[in-house]
Amino acid sequence: MLSLKDSLAVLKRTNALLEGHFILSSGLHSSKYIQCAKLLSFPYLAKKICVSLSKKIKSKFKKVDLILSPAVGGIIVGYEIGSILKKETIFCERVSGKFTLRRGFIIKKNSRVLIVEDVITTGKSSLECEKLVKKLKGKVVGFACLIDRSDKKKIKIKNKKIVSQLKIKVPTYKKNNLPTYLKKISISKPGSRYLK
């Protein structure tokens, strides 16, 4: 398995983890910014992290029938994990604001489903996936992600274990409550909501 140090080095090398002063898509300010798409643009490096995560998944979740990822961020990660674990892998998409299965994808009754994402922050997308699985009479065995940046106070996933390659704390601040050191750094707005 890749060590924490080696995994962080890969994130920095691919510019998936940046340090500076950022306005996140939530509107909050932070000294760190994570963009897994940058990591995934280097498949040979991303694979190393996915192989390591797969080993953790195998030791934590003994029986998995299906991997489900939310579009768009989780698709590549889910595909890679599914390839390594030799599991069927599908993804859900938003239709009228709700996750649904399209493209002929199905979740069989009582299927043991692992939800795989790139990053888990609040767990909102993962919980929406879980709701879809339950609606289709499947069973969620757990959640896995490349990066867990959740905060115990804000995470909405309860009584479920999240397996991640990295747990990264991303401090966030409101505009009127910035620490002095952050005020001295010029602001970047890398989030997709700001790209227009």
Of 77, 68, 131, 144, the closest CA to residue 103 belongs to: 68
Cis geometry, peptide bond prior to residue 133 (ω within 30 degrees of 0)? no
Contacts of 67 (CB under 8 A, 6+ apart): 78, 81, 82, 85, 87, 88, 89, 90, 113, 114, 115, 116
CA 19, 126, 73, 64 torsion: positive or negative? Answer: positive
Per-residue pLDDT tens digits for 99-154: 999 999 999 999 999 999 999 887 888 999 999 999 999 999 999 999 998 877 66
CB 113 within 8 A of CB 70: no
What is the dotted CATH code of the domain comprising 4-194? 3.40.50.2020
Per-residue pLDDT tens digits for 7-54: 999 999 999 999 999 988 778 899 998 989 999 999 999 999 999 999
**117: which DSSP letter?**
E
Which pLDDT value is given to residue 61?
A: 93
**89: which DSSP letter?**
E
Which pLDDT value is given to residue 52?
A: 95
| Residue where the block lists tokens 């409550």 | 177
- All structural domains of the chain with their residue ranges: 4-194
